[in-house]
Amino acid sequence: MKEIQRALARHRLVAILRAADASRFAEASTVLYAAGIRLLEATLTTPGAPEAIAKMRADLGEDALIGAGSVREPSDVDTAADAGAEYLITPTVNPAVLERAAARGVPVVCGALTPTEIDQAWRLGAAAVKVFPAAAVGGIAYLRAIRAPMPDVPLVPTGGVHLADVEGYLGAGAIAVAAATPLLGDALKPGGSLPDLAARASEFVAATARYAHPG
């Protein structure tokens, strides 16, 4: 659990890979890694994601941390752990998922939205709490309001996080942000532009630079 917390605090950015299939995950992840992104999430709602997780782990440097997203059931925990996922990201608070993940020794960034859900996720042993969908409920202002009574909970806003939002979220106290379409664009689609992905990834990494920890 401490490793993923340190990685979130150090790099401040998670790239979310979600598509109709995972055929371009490995190629896109290489581009993201080259731009400086070290935390990547392959969503289990994408066909072929477990195989992609294994390949990404084999292809990228040892400092890359590859996680599995959209983990909703204990069986998803097993699928992800067997594929080599180093952390799990859920969209919701499911105590059975957190229990199974603890048994498998895989840390969880647990999805939650309301103050009660966020507190519950933290008390159930989440390594961090994914505030989802952040943009839909007030974005940076909502995160700041949540942080006030729960400053000890590491929060990762997700859902509608654009480049222009990154510094605002981190300045409001988020341990990291997670981005999908605003970062990935069309790169995971057939014919999608990997050079454009490289440019966007570099911009996102630059936006985190003020808040990234060197250690």
Strand order in the sheet with 87-89: 155-157, 128-131, 108-112, 87-89, 65-69, 39-43, 13-17, 177-179
- The amino acid at residue 167 is E
CA distance 54 to 62: 13
Mark whether 41 is an active-site residue. yes
Residues 6+ apart with CB under 8 A from 134: 142, 143, 157, 158, 159, 160, 161, 169
CA distance 54 to 67: 10
Of 2, 27, 41, 189, which one is the catalytic site residue? 41
Mark whether 2 is an active-site residue. no
Of 27, 73, 130, 189, which one is the catalytic site residue? 130
- The catalytic residues are 41, 130
